[in-house]
Amino acid sequence: TIVLKSANEYCLFLPKLRGQSIRDSEKSAVAYCNKPTSKAPNARILSKRFIRNLNFKHNTHRGYVQITGKFNRRSYDLRRHDGGGQYDIKSPHGAKCYGYPYFVELVEPKTERYCLRCCKHKKDCPTHMSADGCLKVIGGKYH
């Protein structure tokens, strides 16, 4: 389980093993949160050096929350040539975003971009576009 409540309370799925590619970890990723939370009791703590910038958006009309931004791949030994991959309600097994029936997360080590959206409605969390990357799947600010 991951959590996305605010710019100060969030989690991401990342590879279980440092240095593992995103694609290879899609079935085995684990939750990392910026701080301990009872809503994701088994989550690990994200390195304070991992997130470079974070943009939080809450669309109350459509019923979703999202974060977009850049990260430091070196802080987790992610490969610079790794094109990235996607996590969603199908992978890793049993994955969910607390309080929402749908979510989509992309992590792109090559560009050091990440994006996460947790949604009330499936259409707002497109999971069929992973090859298109964060910029197309989840519009928002990345700098």
**Phi, psi of 2, rounded to the nearest 5 degrees:** -115, 165
Residue 55 in any domain: the answer is yes
pLDDT at 52 (0 to 100): 98
pLDDT at 37 (0 to 100): 96
Q: Are 47 and 78 in contact (CB under 8 A)?
A: no
Q: Per-residue pLDDT tens for 27-79?
A: 999 999 999 999 999 999 999 999 999 999 999 999 999 999 999 999 999 99
Residue 143 in any domain: the answer is no
Query: Looking at the whole model, is its pTM more than 0.75?
Result: yes
Residue 100 in any domain: the answer is yes
Q: Which residues pair with 10 in a beta bridge?
A: 4
Q: Per-residue pLDDT tens for 82-127?
A: 999 999 999 999 999 999 999 999 999 999 999 999 999 999 999 9
Residue 13 in any domain: the answer is yes
Number of domains in the chain: 1
Residue 74 in any domain: the answer is yes
pLDDT at 127 (0 to 100): 93
Residue 112 in any domain: the answer is yes
pLDDT at 77 (0 to 100): 95
Flag whether pLDDT at 131 surpasses 90. Answer: no
Residue 142 in any domain: the answer is no
pLDDT at 90 (0 to 100): 94
Question: How deeply is 142 buried, as exposed, middle or buried, from its count of CB atoms within 10 A (0-12, 13-18, 19+)?
Answer: middle
Q: Which domain holds residue 21?
A: 4-137
- Contacts of residue 74, defined as CB under 8 A and 6 or more positions apart, other chains included, come to none
